[in-house]
Amino acid sequence: MTIAESDFPIDNGMSCVPISPEEEKRIVKDLIKQSELNLKDGNLYFIISNRWFSSWQRYVGHSDGILSTDQQSSDGLHADTVHLKITDRPGPIDNSDIISNGSNCGGSDLDIHRTLVEDKDYVLVPQQVWERLLGWYKGGPALPRKLISQGVGPKQYSIEVYPLCLKVTDARDNSVSIVKLSKKATVSELYELVCKVKGVEQHKARISDYFNLNKPSLLTASDQTLEDANMTMDQDILLEVSVDTDRSSHSGVHSMGNELALVPLEPPRSSVSIAGGPALSNGHSSGSGFNFYQGSSVSSSLTTMDDKYDVYSGERGGLAGLQNLGNTCFMNSALQCLVHTPPLAEFFLEDYSDEINMENPLGMRGELALAFGDLLRKLWSSGRTAVAPRAFKGKLARFAPQFSGYNQHDSQELLAFLLDGLHEDLNRVKQKPYIEMKDSDGRPDEEVANECWKNHMARNDSLIVDECQGQYKSTLVCPECGKISITFDPFMYLSLPLPSTVTRTMTITVFYSDGSGLPMPYTVTVLKHGCCRDLCQALSTACCLKSDEILLLAEVYEHKIYRYLDTPLESLTSIKDEEHIVAYRLKSGARKTKLEILHRYLDSGKGGERKIFGTPLVTYLEEDPQCGANIEPYVHRMLAPLRKAHSSTKSHEGKETGFISGGSDEQSSICNSHSEPRNPALCTREQEGTSCGESSFQLVLTNEGCFSCEPIDKASVIKPSAHIKVFVDWTEKEYELYDASYLSDLPEVHKTGFTVKKTRQEAISLFSCLEAFLTEEPLGPDDMWYCPQCKEHRQATKKLDLWKLPEILVFHLKRFSYSRYLKNKLDTFVNFPIHNLDLTKYVKSQDGPSYVYNLYAISNHYGGLGGGHYTAYAKLIDDNKWYHFDDSHVSPVSEGEIKSSAAYVLFYQRVGSDVQMEEATS
């Protein structure tokens, strides 16, 4: 018996029966879950091109449980629709688009392009998933990578997508070879691999750290990892070989038997690298990432200052650059800002050994502070010679594995880690007491603030606290019981949103439910995470709502009311930009029966079928309706503003002449679209005997789902109900009398295309960013507050106020926004003061000093998300000149050039005296 050919693959892992796409998806999901439960060093993962993997995901149906890639549909609701349309089974696995050196080498030797971004260009799957996909689809080639653990303390796992590449310079002939191995490999394993590649007996080899082709430092075969030995991507190492074992104890022996001296080597690469090669999103720089100089040698004066430093007696300090070690411009930018922070520089240039806290369990045994202090001293003592921060990066990778490797990271995230790490390593408190925080309970703010700061200082006392920590007041209000909770918390920096990231513009069409005016669209600005109450307040101001009126919000979909937004605290995130929202102006007070009016017309092309069109009208009946005669006046009153103006002469009969603004004839005075609301009884008399009553709409009573139709006239009995829906059937006669266009073409809540072009070049001030930060806003659904009075989690409103500001004030401009399907960077120009930034009026503490600040450093970010390039502007401590720090390159810059849309983190120092203020002003 033979099995007929099938579109489904054979499941080689379980049986010989073809399986469906749904079964493939289930198997892969289960294998991924199993691998996540068994994480350990050495587990294999495989790289797969996202181009192929996306086609496979479409074939089996998108699922968040498999892998979530950027190529997926941004609308999860339509995932099933996509699956129905795209069901072609993908061909063999094809990784050719991500491989950089062809497919001639063995699998373990294959490299992928260094510019690739995970989840955009490639995905990583466990070994079991790869084997199953390979069995189903064949293809390849295989690109295995190992799982490694990083950091001290709790293990953090990562997949080493890019193994460490080292350039071996053979001292015998100056040839250069490439070896690749894990940064977790030991120096002994490096010896073994190099000797195997070069065909050298291991006991005759001597390998040295030849970083920057300078200062060879012997690497002793040991269990020390290459990461701990500060090996970096594309770094040079030097191989020296002795002729015989008898002389192997010498420093190095030439193949002819002569003792070797180090040979000055001409660098095999470009001698110019300003920014360490291009900054890449999830790879490494395409070049070596360092500056090279012609004729460099061991005795060259262009020392890297990597292992030790000497006090530089010639040129002034503080003008040294930092070499890019492979996408480390984010680190260099942050470091230059910190080493040019006056209190930090003064502290670390003196003897600070007594301040190191090696016992703090929250610190890093003082190692981070020592590494930072050592680097700062090198930068201030090396003149203009660029410093390679290898030792510091090694410590950083050890204590903060998220910054290890050679991917681009966020300079602000690094700054936050460094400030906190330096604080803990310099904490003067050896034993932190346990302190139970008390609620404010209506006590004066000054008392509560002083108590909170005293408790904070009892556990945290360091240079960082002295200079960089402030205090803000946080007020939470429960939306249910009104409980107010006030706390005073310390801060190290202020993350300011750009106004466009916390607000949104919304266009809402307002309808008059008393027939006193035409519908009018209004565009208002509200908080993104605000609630319907905020939207109603903004609309009330825009449309000049009267004191005796309220607004009822509703979403219109397919010419019906899809939902009423009548819950004041409902989040505005439930309203999408493409939706159509209307607001009905209603009289406030007791409301009994809601009347909803829908419009229909006769479609002659479909056998007399009636179709719904336009926008529903909503009002409240002043009393319970008893018959159709009680409803009809409300319908005519609400449609009155739509009546067209007609000439009394026959020649103009039926022709639209515009809306009436006033006239001498009776029709004009009666049908004035801008007249005051009329009495329903008066409208009834008008319809019986005046020209305004020429139209006689057919009213049809329907149910909640609009499925039933029951024609009603003046004598029809209407059952009492809280919600009555009626159809108004339009005829040609009504189209001549009324302008139905005002009921159609509702604007969307937000049109993205126009706003981007309009606001992209608009500048905002630092003060507007600060005010957006201090604006009251509701907490998000994922950040609920536990109300001690309600004993439940509530979506409380939160208000921040500045209570006390530090000597060094750091502003982080939140240019990056992330969501599941969208990543964005705002290049909005923020206009920030360089001198005399006065924040006194924003500080709530009454007895504090004046808070006036001068700018002294900026961390800049150029380019897009995941990549781009970081630089820094900084001012030297003892003069008033600005300098541009672009990795190794340092150049003077005028004060007028430092303001740009690239400004990302701003560093200010408080002006301490009137003399300083006068100097800054001059």
pLDDT digits (tens, 9 = 90+) for 461-518: 999 999 999 999 999 888 888 888 888 999 999 999 887 666 788 999 999 988 888 8
Q: Which two tokens stand for residue 33?
A: 């879950």
Q: Highest mean pLDDT range out of 77-91, 652-666, 682-696, 795-809?
A: 795-809
d(CA 240, CA 262): 9
Give the DSSP H or E segment for 771: helix 766-773
Helices and strands per DSSP (H, E), number in the chain:
21, 39
Predicted pLDDT at 154:
64
Fold topology of 767-920: Cathepsin B; Chain A (3.90.70)
- Give 376-445 as a 3 state SS string: HHHHHHCCCCCECCHHHHHHHHHHCHHHCCCCCCCHHHHHHHHHHHHHHHCCCCCCCCCCCCCCCCCCCH
For residue 436, pLDDT over 50 is answered with yes
Lowest-pLDDT range of 136-150, 318-332, 675-689, 728-742 = 675-689
Give the DSSP H or E segment for 46: strand 44-49
Q: What is the pLDDT of residues 89-134, one digit of tens each?
A: 888 999 888 888 643 333 346 788 877 878 788 899 999 999 999 9
Give the DSSP H or E segment for 535: helix 532-542
d(CA 81, CA 71): 16
d(CA 604, CA 612): 14
Predicted pLDDT at 737:
84
Q: What is the mean pLDDT of residues 173-191?
A: 88
Predicted pLDDT at 766:
92
Among residues 14, 16, 45, the alpha carbon closest in space to that of 32 is found at 45
Place of tokens 């009330």: 540
d(CA 356, CA 358): 6
* CB of 679 closer than 8 Å to CB of 636: no
All residues at 6 or more sequence positions from 533 whose CB lies less than 8 Å from its CB, including other chains: 568, 569
Positions of E strands within 694-796: 698-702, 710-712, 723-730, 764-765, 777-778, 785-787, 792-794
For residue 554, pLDDT over 70 is answered with yes
Asked if 21-62+89-159 and 503-643+696-744 have one fold, the answer is: no
d(CA 631, CA 699): 9
Top-confidence residue, 231 or 857: 857
Q: Highest mean pLDDT range out of 228-242, 410-424, 432-446?
A: 410-424
Q: What is the mean pLDDT of residues 800-820?
A: 86
> Residue 584 — pLDDT band, cuts 50, 70, 90?
very high
d(CA 43, CA 393): 26
Q: What is the pLDDT of residues 840-898, one digit of tens each?
A: 999 988 766 788 999 999 999 988 766 689 999 999 877 789 999 999 999 999 998 99
All residues at 6 or more sequence positions from 358 whose CB lies less than 8 Å from its CB, including other chains: 365, 366
Predicted pLDDT at 18:
66
For residue 598, pLDDT over 70 is answered with yes
Cα atoms in the 13 Å half-sphere on the side-chain side of 790 = 18
Burial of 658 from C-beta contacts in 10 A (0-12 / 13-18 / 19+): exposed
Q: Which two tokens stand for residue 826?
A: 């705002």
Predicted pLDDT at 700:
81
For residue 68, pLDDT over 70 is answered with no
> Residue 153 — pLDDT band, cuts 50, 70, 90?
low
> Residue 833 — pLDDT band, cuts 50, 70, 90?
very high
Q: Which two tokens stand for residue 188?
A: 């002994």
Predicted pLDDT at 583:
93
Q: What is the pLDDT of residues 311-328, one digit of tens each?
A: 333 456 788 999 888 888
Q: Return the SS3 of 41.
A: coil
CA distances from 631 to 533, 583, 625, 714 (A): 30, 21, 7, 8
Burial of 739 from C-beta contacts in 10 A (0-12 / 13-18 / 19+): middle
Size of the chain, expressed as the number of residues it contains: 922
Predicted pLDDT at 701:
82
For residue 738, pLDDT over 50 is answered with yes
Q: Return the SS3 of 630.
A: helix
All residues at 6 or more sequence positions from 142 whose CB lies less than 8 Å from its CB, including other chains: 46, 107, 130, 134
Fold topology of 21-62+89-159: DUSP-like (3.30.2230)
* CB of 865 closer than 8 Å to CB of 825: yes
* CB of 502 closer than 8 Å to CB of 535: no
Q: Which two tokens stand for residue 93?
A: 């696995």
Which strand ranges, in their side-by-side order, compose the sheet holding 777-778? 484-491, 470-477, 797-804, 777-778
Predicted pLDDT at 752:
63
Cα torsion 628, 634, 635, 640: sign: positive
Predicted pLDDT at 342:
93
Top-confidence residue, 121 or 695: 121
Burial of 663 from C-beta contacts in 10 A (0-12 / 13-18 / 19+): middle
Taking the CA atoms of residue 571, residue 576, residue 582 and residue 588 in that order, the dihedral angle to the nearest 10 degrees is: 0
- Phi/psi of residue 741, each to 5°? -65, -25
Among residues 816, 813, 832, 907, the alpha carbon closest in space to that of 868 is found at 816
Q: Return the SS3 of 456.
A: helix
CA distances from 417 to 400, 422, 493, 861 (A): 8, 8, 12, 18
Domain ranges of the chain: 21-62+89-159, 164-241, 503-643+696-744, 767-920
> Residue 677 — pLDDT band, cuts 50, 70, 90?
very low
* CB of 83 closer than 8 Å to CB of 58: yes
Q: What is the mean pLDDT of residues 391-415?
A: 83
For residue 900, pLDDT over 70 is answered with yes
Cα torsion 896, 899, 902, 906: sign: positive
Predicted pLDDT at 822:
52
For residue 284, pLDDT over 60 is answered with no
Estimate to the nearest angstrom the gap between the alpha carbon of 227 and the chain centroid: 31
Q: Which two tokens stand for residue 374?
A: 């050592």
Among residues 745, 737, 747, the alpha carbon closest in space to that of 659 is found at 737
Q: Return the SS3 of 526.
A: strand
Burial of 415 from C-beta contacts in 10 A (0-12 / 13-18 / 19+): buried
pLDDT > 70 fraction of the chain, expressed in percent and rounded: 75
Predicted pLDDT at 534:
85
All residues at 6 or more sequence positions from 581 whose CB lies less than 8 Å from its CB, including other chains: 506, 508, 509, 553, 554, 555, 556, 565, 575, 749
All residues at 6 or more sequence positions from 189 whose CB lies less than 8 Å from its CB, including other chains: 181
Predicted pLDDT at 303:
33
Catalytic residue numbers read 329, 869
pTM exceeding 0.75: no
Q: What is the mean pLDDT of residues 799-803?
A: 92
* CB of 262 closer than 8 Å to CB of 171: yes
Q: What is the overall mean pLDDT for the chain? A: 76
Bond from prior residue into 141 cis (ω within 30 degrees of 0):
yes
Q: Which two tokens stand for residue 205?
A: 């080899």
d(CA 536, CA 687): 35
Q: Which CATH number fits domain 503-643+696-744: 3.40.50.300, 3.30.70.2190, 3.10.20.90, 1.20.1440.80?
A: 3.10.20.90
For residue 363, pLDDT over 80 is answered with yes
Cα atoms in the 13 Å half-sphere on the side-chain side of 916 = 13
Top-confidence residue, 692 or 40: 40
Cα atoms in the 13 Å half-sphere on the side-chain side of 272 = 0
Predicted pLDDT at 390:
86
Predicted pLDDT at 275:
29
Fold topology of 164-241: Ubiquitin-like (UB roll) (3.10.20)
